[in-house]
Amino acid sequence: MPAQLVYVTAPSQAEAESLARLAVEGRLAACANILPGMRSLYWWQGKLEQADEVVLLLKTTREQAPALTEALTRAHSYDCPCVVAVDIDSGNPDFLRWIADETAPR
């Protein structure tokens, strides 16, 4: 089953941890990495903004990515959260199999 890396930004460490727990406990992602200390510059409602954010990286399958995206979007505090999935084309086969096993329906 093809794996995906889901990139999410959050306004705080606490929210990133909450989103990570939602994803992993719900078996929508096998693993979450939280990377604090990011500075973002972006356009929002016609104005250039900047903010300190936290990056959340989630490992999931292509099959679970839509449900993961929906759950994260619902739970996120942003009006239009960044939740994007990127295909993992190759990697450690055992790790990729582990992602599939941990996100498989129970």
pLDDT digits (tens, 9 = 90+) for 11-24: 999 999 999 999 99
Write out the two tokens for 8.
């999410």
Q: Domains plus CATH for the chain?
A: 3-103 (3.30.70.120)
Other beta carbons within 10 angstroms of residue 78's beta carbon come to 15
pTM: 0.94
Sheet holding 83-88, edge to edge: 31-44, 47-61, 3-10, 83-88
Summarize pLDDT for 48-105 with one digit per residue, the tens: 999 999 999 999 999 999 999 999 999 999 999 999 999 999 999 999 999 999 999 8
